[in-house]
Every structure is written in C-alpha cells, then in structure tokens.
Structure 1
Amino acid sequence: MIYTRIAWEGGNPFSGGSGIVVKERITPQQVKRASLAALLAAILVGIFIQFGLKTGPWTLPLGLTGALAGYYYSTPPFRWAKRGFGELIIGFCFGWLPVATAFYLQTGSFHPLIFWFSIPIGCTIFNVILLNEFPDYRADNLAGKRNLVVRLGLDLASQIYGVATLLAWIFLVVSIFSGAPTELAILITPLYIMGGKIYLELRRGAYGDKHILRRLCGFNLAINLGTTALMILCVIIYL
C-alpha cells in the first residue's frame, strides 16, 4: 500500500495524500524501490511466520491477497481506485482481511464470528474512503478518476454513506448474537449515532461547504478508529 498512500492525490487533510510525488520531493522510481523493498520484507516475514512458527497453510495466501489488492488499487490493468471498486477493496483489506488473518495466525483456524466482527470495521473504513472523495469530486471528474463518488454523484454517494453506516450497526448486533461481548454495543453505538448525524448533514447538502465537509471527514475517521479500538479492547477484556 506504500505506492497507493504516497501517490494518492487530493486537497484536504483527509482526502488525498502528501503530494510529495507531485511536488517532486520524491521520485516515482524511489517510490517503486521502497514498495519493492517493503514487499520483499513482507514475503520474508510471511515465510518465517508460516514455516518457522507453523501458523498454517493459509498464512502466505492471506498475505498475498493483501499485497495484490494494494498493488492493483492504483496500477494497471485493474486500477480499482478509478473503476468504482477501490472503496470496496479497501473495505475488504482493512476490514475482513486483517481481522481474519490475525485470528488465523493465533489459532490456526477461522471462526464464523470473525466474519461478522469484521464487517463493521470494513463498513466504517469504506465510509472513510467514500467521504474523503467528496472534496475531490470536481478534480477527480475532470481527471477521469471515476471512483464511486464520481460515478454516483454527490447526492447518491451520500445515501450510500448512510447505508454503510446502517450495515455497520446491523452487523455489530449480529456479531453480538453470534458471541461477541454485549458491552461492545454499548460502547460503539454512540459512534454510529455520530455516523447517522454525518449522514443527515450530507443529506442537507453539507458536501457543498468545504469547511463543514472537512469537519465531517475528521469525525468520520474517528468513527472507524473508534470502532477498531473498542473492538480490540472488548476482546482483550471480555473474551
């Protein structure tokens, strides 16, 4: 994901990236070398974990899945970020994939609860990427970067934000009925109420005000980070 992070364009502390490639503070060749070095290190660590620590046969395939998804997020032939699939790919790679992989590495197996447990995390990071694309709507449209917001338009994309927020809460409840600690709902529900308020702001046309949108992007990121942190905390304390 190094290449993706550095090359990501934008004009907002939450949308876009550092711009260091565009500003020529680092060359594309340097980015490529850093990416290859990170990939090589990840492969070596993966080999050691699978065969040295004997974590199981799915260790390397899970790592490879993340590597390929990250690489093709912004590179041909797929360029998921420009085809309306990038948001879903990130939801998967920052939702199910790390949760399932962490569980598998420690237990050598998968559990149905992990699937339900990971969906709220995936939905909230999906919303982070989605909302972060709002400030760049015009620029992305002109540049031909047809991400989900450009394809749907701001109004429909704001409705998708609301759907993802609702799904996060629904699957939080499902995970509790599947064995997650009930304290999780008490702790996380306020975050999803905040998500509902963001949705209402968007429906009122807040995406037209860059200052309000900047504030909403900050709250939105807090929802994702809070969801992840509280889930980890509940697992440590109650399971």
Structure 2
Amino acid sequence: MVSAWLRAIRVRFLLASIISVSIGLAIALWKHDALDPLHALLTYIGVLSLHASVDLLNDYWDYRSGIDKVTRRTPFSGGTGVLPEHMLSPSSVYRAGIAFLIIGAVIGLYFVAVRGIAIAIILAFAVAAVYLYSTSIVRIGLGEFFVALKGTMIVVGTYYVQVGALSIEPVYAGTISGMLSSLVLFINSFPDYEADRSGGRRTLVILLGPARASRLFIAFPSAVYIMIIAGVVLQILPLYTLATLLALPLALRAYRILKARYDDAEGLIPCMSSTVAFSRIVGIAIVVGVLVEYLLF
C-alpha cells in the first residue's frame, strides 16, 4: 500500500519543486543573508503538498476521462497506473489529492497572515490552478504555460516569504526554473499524443503535431542558456551559474533522439531520461552557483 501511494504521488518528480524552493532560498541568502528555517521548512511542505495534489488529481481525472485506459505507459509518461491497475481506489486518490491541496492552502494562509497580499495572490493562483489543471487548463492548451508559471511563482513566493519584498533576481531565476519544468512536461507528452488527443487535451504536441513539435524542443534549452548567460552579463545571476553549461550535452542528446523517434514511445525513453536529467542538473547548478557566490563573497 505504501509503495502504491509513493507511486501515485510520483515521488521522484517532486524534485522539481524542491529545486525551485531551493533556488528561492539560495537567492534570499545571497542577496539579503536571510533564512528563516521554520518558514523554509513550511515552504517545502506547502509546495510539495500542492505538487502532490496536482499529480493525484491528474491521475484521478485521467482515469475518469478514460485517458489512462488507452495510454502507453513509460517510466516518464502515461500516468502512474495505480488506478487502471486497481492498486488504489479512485475515491481514495481524489480524497488524498484534496487533502494535500488543503495542507498546501493552510500553510499558504499562514504566510498570507505573515507576509500579506502578495502571498495571497500567489496562493489563490496555486489553489485554483492545482484543482483546475486536469479538467480545464490542459484542455485549453495552457498546460506548458501553467507549469512554467508555477515554477516561477514557487521561486518568487519562496523568496518573498523570506525577505518580504520582490526583486528581479528571483523573478529571473524563477522564469528559468519554470521553463525547465515546462520542458519536462513538453517532452513527456510525446508518448501520450494519441491518448491525450482522444481525451480532449490540447498539449503543444497536439496543437503542433509531433513532427513540428519535435523541432520546437531545442527552443527550451536555448532560451534557458540565453537567459543564464545574459543574467550573468547583467549581474542578475552569479558567474558560477555558468556551470549549468555542463548539462548541454544532455539536451543535445535528447534533441537528436526526439527528431528521429518522436513517434516511438519506447524509443523516446532515453530522450525523456536525458531531458529530466538536464532539467534537474541545470536547476541544481543554479542553486549551487548562487550558494557558492554567497559563501565566497
């Protein structure tokens, strides 16, 4: 039972939210020498709860809509399979999703009391978007945009909770973090093309078609690196964040595989693996680069 719930929550994908929170905390340390441990812990719990909620509710609605019954499941796409395989009941997954949503909302309300209206705006967006993601957002073609915005707001919200103010650095780094998360969603939607289309979803892959969408892939890492290099030049990001360039071969490998195998679910597994690794390594390198700058200067 425990393993089924860990699978349903998609534990390994929670790392994206952990990285986004860590970026916000690192920038707060770097720019203001500010770190409230209790608030940092609550931020991690709240953000991870909201992340778990959206994944659980996504599984529930995919099962209800029939998408889970026709999708080809891979280690990175096609849902968790806990409902089609009858490992958990739909009602229990739905209730767990709502419970995690409430946990995230309660923590958010605490931060609204502590930090005010800015957190209230972020919280309202988060709660509404989590609940509406599978039923509305991905059906009007905004899934990738939502994920990018979510990543940005996690970094900005984390920074604001620590500092009580806004600045360009968390917004800039948050945009990069959001694009990395959006890239993972984008690549993982290729194997789900037929199932998503039959279920009424409108991902970028469906809107563009797999062949044209495959050529769009390189725009994501290109935009990420342009922002990182420009950020260093403009002194928005520390010089040490250029270590993110070490992950470039992973993005290029993923692009080569995608161009050749965009319509082959099994053949795309190495591509999805490289893309996830690229996203995580770049995000972690940003955290480390900012912390090195803080420690040295």
Return the TM-score normalized by structure 2.
0.71
User: Is 2:254–2:270's contact at 8 Å kept on the other side of the alignment?
Assistant: no
2:236 partner amino acid:
G
**1:199-238 maps to which residues of 2 (within 5 A)?**
199-203=255-259, 205-238=260-293
Tell me the alpha carbon deviations over residues 71-100 of structure 1, each in whole angstroms, 9 at most, x when there is no partner.
11112xxx222332111111211x211110
Task: Give structure 2 stretches of 5+ with no counterpart.
Answer: 1-53, 63-67
Tell me, yes or no, if structure 1 residue 117 matches structure 2 residue 148: no
Partner residue, 1:6: 59
User: Is 1:104–1:110's contact at 8 Å kept on the other side of the alignment?
Assistant: yes
User: Is 1:92–1:122's contact at 8 Å kept on the other side of the alignment?
Assistant: yes
Secondary structure at 1:102 match in 2: helix
Secondary structure at 1:135 match in 2: coil
1:228 Cα deviation (Å)?
1.6
Tell me, yes or no, if structure 1 residue 188 matches structure 2 residue 244: yes
Distance 1:58 1:220 in 2: 33
Deviates more, 1:131-140 or 1:42-51: 42-51
1:5 Cα deviation (Å)?
4.7
Deviates more, 1:110-119 or 1:139-148: 139-148
Partner residue, 2:144: 87
Q: Classify 1:16/1:237 alpha carbon distance in 2 versus 1 (closer, same or farther; 3 Å).
A: same
2:241 partner amino acid:
L
User: Is 1:83–1:148's contact at 8 Å kept on the other side of the alignment?
Assistant: no
Tell me the alpha carbon deviations over residues 210-237 of structure 1, each in whole angstroms, 9 at most, x when there is no partner.
4431011011001111122111122222
Distance 2:218 2:57 in 1: 26
1:13 Cα deviation (Å)?
0.7
User: Is 1:120–1:227's contact at 8 Å kept on the other side of the alignment?
Assistant: no
Partner residue, 2:32: none
Higher helix share: 2
1:12 Cα deviation (Å)?
0.8
What's the RMSD between the two structures over aligned residues? 2.0
User: Is 1:116–1:174's contact at 8 Å kept on the other side of the alignment?
Assistant: no
Distance 1:140 1:39 in 2: 25
Deviates more, 1:54-63 or 1:13-22: 54-63
Q: Classify 1:142/1:59 alpha carbon distance in 2 versus 1 (closer, same or farther; 3 Å).
A: closer
**Which is bigger in relative contact order (C-alpha 8 A, separation at least 6)?**
2
Match of 1:151 among 182, 207, 221: 207
Distance 2:55 2:206 in 1: 24
2:76 partner amino acid:
F
Partner residue, 1:74: 134
Tell me the alpha carbon deviations over residues 177-220 of structure 1, each in whole angstroms, 9 at most, x when there is no partner.
233111111x10121342133223323x2224444310110110
1:40 Cα deviation (Å)?
2.2
Runs of 4+ residues deviating >4 angstroms: none
Tell me the alpha carbon deviations over residues 86-125 of structure 1, each in whole angstroms, 9 at most, x when there is no partner.
11111211x2111101110110111112222122222221
Q: Classify 1:202/1:237 alpha carbon distance in 2 versus 1 (closer, same or farther; 3 Å).
A: same
Distance 1:41 1:197 in 2: 39
1:63 Cα deviation (Å)?
2.0
Deviates more, 1:153-162 or 1:25-34: 25-34
Partner residue, 1:45: 107
- Percent identical among aligned pairs is 23
Task: Give structure 1 stretches of 5+ with no counterpart.
Answer: none
2:290 partner amino acid:
V
**1:60-71 maps to which residues of 2 (within 5 A)?**
60-71=120-131
Return the TM-score normalized by structure 1.
0.87
Partner residue, 1:25: 87
User: Is 1:91–1:125's contact at 8 Å kept on the other side of the alignment?
Assistant: yes
